[in-house]
Structure 1
Amino acid sequence: MNHPKLVGGIASFAGVFESVTGVNYFDELIKAIERIFRSAESKRVKEYMKRLGIDREAKMAVVVQRQVNPKLSGVLFTRSPNELDKALVEFVKGFPEKLVGGKRAVSVSFFRATPPRSKTP
């Protein structure tokens, strides 16, 4: 669970704040929520904001969702950093922590960034 409030539309903060998975009991849930709120004050968040020139307090909200056991997890970049005319999907088998934590080799797929225009009669 993790849902940062966007700051003026300039930054998504994706992956900057804490996310907590594997919560099974109410007391774990309370601790997880507290941990996520504390992450708004972390060194990582402050450095990210400084790099982007954001000079205000980070805001935090939390979304709690039922966890599913995925066959695949991935990240969609609507514009590939290397091929600007393509969208990029990086994915791994299983949970996303394996992807964002660099613990597994990543599979990559490219797609056309904009869908083809349909011809109207």
Structure 2
Amino acid sequence: MDRQLQRDSELSGVEYSVLAALSEAEDATMRARDIAHALDWERSRLSHLLKRMEARGLVARTECPTDARGFNISMTAAGRTAIERAAPGHVSFVRENVFDPLTPAEQEALLSAATKIQNSLRAAGWWERAKGD
């Protein structure tokens, strides 16, 4: 999936994830900590990515007016163009290659299995350790 995004839109999967989250937010702006929470990422991982995305002109970082320790992240016009260009092809790719080959019962089984695996990893503490790596 990452290769398809990179080839067709010059976005990585993680960049796409950030832009997708911002595209659903009011005024295409979110607190950095809220993006990290929504994507279930460590703040340090997100911070490094946001610096790269800012350098590419995809997002802008501004101080949060209500909390001097925090930052607001806003999608720029270039970021909006990038996600709008990437989304149709990416959605089609995922649908055609992940979900369409499966029957509805297999899709339900996939969701059930993925949820159980994720819950098991969380319960064992592996989810937090993996995010910190």
TM-score when normalising by structure 1: 0.27
Answer with 1 or 2: which has the greater Rg. Answer: 1
Larger RCO, structure (CA 8 Å, separation 6 or more) = 2
Hey, which of these two has a bigger chunk of strand by percent?
A: 1
